[in-house]
Amino acid sequence: MTVARGLQLDVKRALIVTAVGLAGALGALVVVLQLAGSSDAIEVQLGDPDFRGIHAADLAAEIAENGPVPFPDLVGNELPIWVHHHGDDPTVGWVTVSARVPGSTGCLVQWDTDGGTTGDGVFVDGCDSTTTWPADGAGLAPLAWTVLAGELRIDVARTGGTSP
């Protein structure tokens, strides 16, 4: 009669396989850490460098009916903006400016529909109502913009750009 033997464990072979496995894992960890580098410079770039998804013709019609549109807090509470449009062509005539009062840290620009000499409205300093800017945004920090395939895109990565 044949007797079945149970599983036999070769301790020496098991220790060798374990040692080789651990050495391989440690080697892989060292390689990954070397490839990652030890630079202190970390640059976080989340999202697109431009604010997009705005149908230019629809926004132009909204602005013609109700005035400029504010977009608060586009870049982590750093860049609230105003978007205004002049003319009938939604591919040109955009005014995109920072809603922060130039030289101020806490004051925001507001829109006054009754202001201005032409009755078109003016931008007003929220902390000093005697300070105003024309509807074309002259004197406020501009943001570059483009219209691609009917979509208005506003460059929120930097202020001070020029627009077409």
Task: Quote the CA–CA distance of 66 and 49 in Å, as a whole number.
Answer: 28
Question: What is the band of 53 on the pLDDT scale with cuts at 50, 70, 90?
Answer: confident
Residue among 161, 110, 100, 102 nearest 135 (CA): 110
The whole-number pLDDT of residue 159 equals 53
Per-domain residue ranges of the chain: 50-155
Taking the C-alpha atoms of residue 71 and residue 162, their distance in angstroms, rounded to an integer, is 19
Give the containing element (helix H, strand E) for 56.
Answer: helix 56-66
Rounded to whole angstroms, the Cα distance separating 38 from 79 reads 32
For the whole model, what pTM was predicted? Answer: 0.65
Amino acid of residue 114: D
- Residue 158's pLDDT band (boundaries 50, 70, 90)? low
CB proximity list for 118: less than 8 A, separation 6 or greater? none
Pairing of strands 145-148, 132-133: unpaired
Work out the pLDDT band at 161, boundaries 50, 70, 90.
very low
In CATH, what class is 50-155?
mainly beta
From 15-19, 42-46, 70-74, 138-142, the region with the lowest mean pLDDT: 42-46
